[in-house]
Amino acid sequence: MSDLPFQVGELIESQSFINGFRGAWFRCKILKIVERYGAIFYLLEYPDYPDQKSTQIKVYQKAPHINKSKRLNKVLMVRPRFPTIYRESEKLDVNAISEGVVIVDDAWKIGDLVEWFSDGCYWCGKVTELFGTDKVQIDLLPPPHGEGCSYEALTKDLRPSLDWCPQNGWTVPMPTMENVTTTLQELALQMQQHAQQMQQQSLVLTKLSKQICQKGVTKEGEISVGDSSQSESRLAGKKVKLPVFEGEDPVVWITRT
């Protein structure tokens, strides 16, 4: 009936093109599989929505945001139950593994593609900001692929974003041109901000250098106003000690010994 490996009674996940639910995956159970007019339909129930009636969906659908003349490949609306997730720090007994697993880093990073569990489903998005170790900001996929909103999310509600197809199984999502462009823009902005900070630090150092040249140094190391000839006469025949300034920018202070 179909090249898909799913059977009645199996737990899977499904998605939808309905506005308000774009970019979300729902846990569901197959109640019935029907073939009609050459198309496959699943009758699904949703354990996370006990009050929701069972719903019939078409397994392969045309994405509404794609031009009709380009709808050569239909979108698969279902996938298997998500693999078990392990952290890198967890001890994994390889001999006890009977199915696919996913091993993820112990800490999320900005730019990570994730799926966020909220309101009974998993929303696809990207980590855009970190708030300590237990909270992040998530940007959902932009329209038409997602709802395009930003939310604060607990890290315990995150899982890595993965793609699935019958031929290759589970795979890490490949970045789209839109994602690459966004990443390059973010990097360019960071470089611009860094350059501005360096310029400001350079101006501060220049100002400090001018002040030091115009002032002398007392026995206690305090700066005192005086002309260059007086400063030279006071330092004549004395050892000059150049201590290392402990900071991000090396500033040399002249002291007498």
Q: What is the pLDDT of residue 197?
A: 79
Residue 131, phi then psi, degrees to nearest 5? -120, 80
Angle at 129 between CA 128 and CA 134, to 5 degrees: 120
CA-to-CA distance for 137 and 149, rounded, in angstroms? 10
The whole-number pLDDT of residue 102 equals 76
Phi, psi of 235 (to 5 degrees): -90, -5
pLDDT at residue 198, rounded to an integer: 79
Torsion of CA 148, 151, 157, 159, to 10 degrees: 40
Whether omega before 175 lies within 30 degrees of 0, making that bond cis, reads: no
**Can you tell me the distance from the alpha carbon of 68 to that of 55, in angstroms, rounded to the nearest whole number?**
26
The answer to whether position 257 is within a domain reads yes
Q: Is residue 205 part of a domain?
A: no
Residues 93 and 64 in one domain: no
Specify the number of domains making up the chain: 3
- Are 92 and 70 found together in one domain? no
Q: What is the pTM of this model?
A: 0.66
Residue 230 lies in a domain: yes
Identify the domain containing residue 48 by its residue range. Answer: 11-80
Q: What integer best gives the mean pLDDT of the chain?
A: 79
- The pLDDT confidence band at residue 49, using thresholds 50, 70 and 90, is very high
pLDDT in tens, 206-220: 777 777 776 654 444
Q: What is the DSSP string of 73-119?
A: SPEE-EEEPPPEEEETTS---GGG--S-EEEE-SS--TT-EEEEEET
| 245 CB-contact burial (10 Å; exposed 0-12 / middle 13-18 / buried 19+) | exposed
Domain boundary pick from 80, 106, 127: 80
The pLDDT > 90 percentage for the chain reads 49
Give CA torsion, residues 247, 250, 254, 255, to 10 deg.
30
- Is position 180 within any domain? no
Q: What is the DSSP string of 144-167?
A: TTS---EEEEEGGGEEE--EEETT
* Domain annotation covers residue 193: no
pLDDT tens digit sequence for 158-206: 999 999 999 999 998 876 544 444 445 555 666 777 777 777 777 777 7
In this structure, is residue 250 part of a structural domain? yes
> pLDDT: is 141 or 195 the higher one?
141
The answer, yes or no, to whether residue 239 has pLDDT greater than 90, is no
Predicted local distance difference test score (pLDDT) of residue 12: 98
